[in-house]
Amino acid sequence: MKKMKLGNTALEVPMIGLGCMRISELEGTEVADYLEHCLEIGINFFDHADIYGEGECERCFAHGIKELGIEREDIIIQSKCGIIPHRYYDLSYEYIIESVDGILERLNTEYLDVLVLHRPDALTEPEEVAKAFDELEEKGKVRYFGVSNHKPTQIELLKKYVRQELILNQMQLSIQSSSMISSGIEANMITEGSIDRNGGVLDYCRMNNITVQAWSPFQGPHGAFIDKNELFPDLNWALGEICAKYEVSKTAIAAAWILRHPAKIQVIAGTMNPYRISEVAKAPEITLTRDEWYRLYQCAGHILP
């Protein structure tokens, strides 16, 4: 598996990471078997959040890793905090510290490679985030820090107080959900796609060496779009033709579409299906032509002005 660096750091990660949001749906030894399969195909980066499966995803992941006897240094673990489901967001000092302690306990580890602020909290006091990050770094509980679903100005506000670099921003991105790309392409047009929902976040992250991680790379507002021919016939037709050329599945091409963007985006795949994750793992070997990239983009319903 090809590797890339996160942000400005020396931390090398595979271009495909596994999102563990549904790992607790696997049963018994399936978790260890699936993790072993992922490691065999080069995926040793795992994305978590304190809320996934109400903590159960982190617990069963830790159990699987222990069963396999994997050394901690051989895997890279990221988790997120800040969402209290259905109630509020919380990036206060107390909550961040308490959340990380819970994450470390459930993951059965001394440290996180990356801690990510899951969503912007309207009541954030960046001084408190800074205090929490300093403490977590000093105690060796977190190596690196990042954000998710943040706009450039929200990152700038954090950077005014936080000493550590914010090395990544995890954002929703797929061929289907690509407003951060279409707002650039449709600049200066009175079109739906021209609406800038993220404050130019993609260019901002590139300019500031912040890695963009793509969440939900195979899903859009209508769920998974691959093989949903009744909803996305053009996209599936184009994916089908292009995947035949590269002798992979449509899933690999959908991931290769994200990786073809020069921003050096890391794909966070959430499938729990061994065949599908093997296909996704082939994506870093594929470089779509400009023609193929734009064809898929347009077949997904986006326009070129």
Our finding on whether 153 is near ligand NAP (CB under 6 A) is: no
Report the residue number, 182 or 216, with the smaller CB distance to ligand NAP.
216
**Residue 226 in the binding site for ligand NAP (CB under 6 A):** yes
Which residue has its beta carbon closest to ligand NAP?
Answer: 270
On whether the CB atoms of residues 270 and 22 are closer than 8 A, the answer is yes
Among 59, 84, 276, 293, binds ligand NAP (CB under 6 A): 276
Closest CA to 169 of 234, 240, 266: 266
Piece of 106-114, 134-142, 212-220, 237-245 that binds ligand NAP (CB under 6 A): 212-220
| 13: three-class secondary structure by DSSP | strand
**Is 19 one of the binding residues for ligand NAP (CB under 6 A)?**
yes
Q: Is 93 a catalytic residue?
A: no
Q: Could you tell me the smallest distance in angstroms from the CB atom of residue 280 to ligand NAP? A: 7
In whole angstroms, the minimum distance from the beta carbon of 187 to ligand NAP comes to 26
> Binding to ligand NAP by residue 164, rule CB under 6 A?
no
* Alpha carbon distances (Å) from 151 to 132, 190, 196, 202: 21, 22, 11, 9
The phi and psi torsions of 39 (rounded to 5 degrees) equal: -65, -40
d(CA 89, CA 190): 34
List the beta strands (DSSP E) in 30-104: 45-47, 76-81, 83-84, 88-89
Q: How far is the CB of 104 from ligand NAP (least distance, A)?
A: 18
Q: Please identify, using beta-carbon distances, which residue of 11 and 254 lies nearer to ligand NAP.
A: 254
Are residues 3 and 13 in contact, defined by beta-carbon separation less than 8 angstroms? yes
CB of 45 to ligand NAP, least distance (A): 11
Q: Which is nearer to ligand NAP, 148 or 198 (CB)?
A: 148
CB of 156 to ligand NAP, least distance (A): 20
In the region spanning residues 254 to 273, those forming contacts with ligand NAP, defined by CB under 6 A, are 268-273
**CB burial string 68-88: b at 16+ within 10 A, e below:** eebeeeebbbbbbbbbeeeee
* CA angle at 295 for the pair 293 and 300, rounded to the nearest 5°: 100
Residues at the contact surface with ligand NAP, assessed by CB under 6 A: 19-21, 47, 118, 148-149, 170, 215-219, 224, 226, 251, 268-273, 276
Please identify every residue annotated as catalytic: 52
